[in-house]
Structure formats: structure tokens, C-alpha cells
Amino acid sequence: MVKVALIQLRSQKNRADSIEHVVKMLGKAGAVEPDIVCLPELWYPKAVNSFEREFKHIIDMAKEQNMIVISGAFLERIDNNLYISSPVISRDGMILGRQFKIHPFGNQRNVVKSGTTMEMFDGGSFKFGIGICYDVVFPEVSRALVRKGAEIVFFPSKISKQGTEPWHMYVQVRALENRIPVVAPNVCGDMYGGRSILVAFDYDKKTDIAVPRRIVGSIKDQTFALDIDLDRVRKIREARLKDLKSNLYVSL
């Protein structure tokens, strides 16, 4: 069993308030002892120049609470390039790596450099991948992560109120078509809809039908978590993907 958690929060006006707010929310999430917790996209108000220095208190929380922290996604400057970056903090405060947003959205295309690889992260007893917000629209991202060995996919997001319903559809379909749990935290506030979503499965072995089981958040700051039996989900996924005729899709 792996316990996954997400944090939904309202963006703050400055860096100090943003970090302080997230540290408090991580404390609430840590109370249920998750193995891994994920923050949303673009909750941090400025570009990050030194992740280890600016996010020291969050790194300390990961160690204190003994949990992996996907720090959401935000602008990060690396080697004179600006990315939308999702650094992953291990239980002992080390940086496991970063996933860069593959598909910048809207005006982001004029500001940031696109990621070119889909990373795989080792959580010890499980492996996971990350797509960032608009990446969920493209099924190739989730499928590639699954083919690489991901057992959970996280989509830190920043979705407007008007976009919440189609976003939920995308998240559920990515989970269903790959038979993989998906965790998608959102920002909440005046423009952004909250309603973060975590998708697992109910499965009927007799009919071979998997039905997405959703936990959907409110429109306010909150955390929630779910225990996932990855062995059970793995069997469902392996059975389904045996039928995939991947040799027909080499052009993708």
C-alpha cells in the first residue's frame, strides 16, 4: 500500500508568505503520514533561482515528516534557461530530480523552454512520473510514463474555474486508459477552481471493467489522501496493456 496526498492552496502575494503557507499545509498533510505529497502548479509567485536555498523550509519538512514532496511546478532558472519545473524532494531532503513541463500553455510558450524528456522517479517501494498541467491533454505523456514503469502519475496543475470540468475528464481518462492512479492538485482562489482530483479504481474481475473512483476537493485550501494498493492496480494494468499492439504506433 502507498498513501498519496495532495495539497490544494490559494496563491500568496510574496515568496515568504507562499513558503510559510505551504509549510503549514505540509504539516497538515503529514499528519496522515503519506508516502508522497504533491503541490499544484504555479503556486509560487516568482521565478526560482536557487531551489535549495529558497525552498529550504519545505525541504526540511520533507525530512521532518518522512515523506516525498513533489514541490508542484513553478518558473525555475537553470543554466540561463527558464523552465516550468517540478523538483522532487526525497524523504531525506535530497533532490531526486526535476520534470520540466513538456507542453507550455498559451503565453508560456514565449517565456519558457520546453522539457524534452519524461523522467522516472524512484519512491523506494514504487515508481512515479510527473506531467505538468497542460501535459495531461496529450495522452502520449501518460502512456510514455507508464511504458517507462510509472505506477502513479502526478499532474500538478493550475486550472481556471471554467476549465475544471474538462480537466477532470482528461485526468480520469488518463487514469482509465492506462489503468494507473492519477493525482492532480489545483490552485484555488478567485480565478482558479480548486476541485483537485485523485483517481483510483474499483474493478470487477468477472466483467473486466475498471471504474474510476474519484476523490474531488472543495474550492478552498485543503489536503486529502488515499491509500492505493499498487500490487492490485499493477495486475489490472498489465492485463490491459498485454492487448496493446504497440508495433502499429511506431510513428508516435
Give 59-91 pLDDT, tens digit per residue.
999 999 999 999 999 999 999 999 999 999 999
Residue 165 is placed in which grid cell?
A: 470540468
Q: Which residues, in sequence order, are bridge partners of residue 70?
A: 38, 88
CA distance 169 to 191: 20
CA distance 25 to 6: 10
Q: pLDDT over 70 for what percent of the chain? A: 99
- pTM of the predicted structure, to 2 decimals: 0.95
Mean pLDDT on 209-215: 87
**What's the residue count for the chain?**
252
* Chain centroid, CA 175 distance in Å: 13
Give 157-207 pLDDT, tens digit per residue.
999 999 999 999 999 999 999 999 999 999 999 899 899 999 998 888 788
Give 150-164 pLDDT, tens digit per residue.
999 999 999 999 999
Q: pLDDT over 90 for what percent of the chain? A: 83
Q: Where are the beta strands (DSSP E) in 131-206?
A: 152-154, 182-184, 187-188, 197-204
Evaluate whether 126 touches 112 at the Cβ level (below 8 Å).
no
Number of Cβ within a 10 Å radius of residue 2: 20
In this predicted structure, what is the pLDDT of residue 43? 96
Q: Which residues, in sequence order, are bridge partners of residue 225?
A: 5
32, pLDDT greater than 80: yes
Mean pLDDT on 131-148: 96
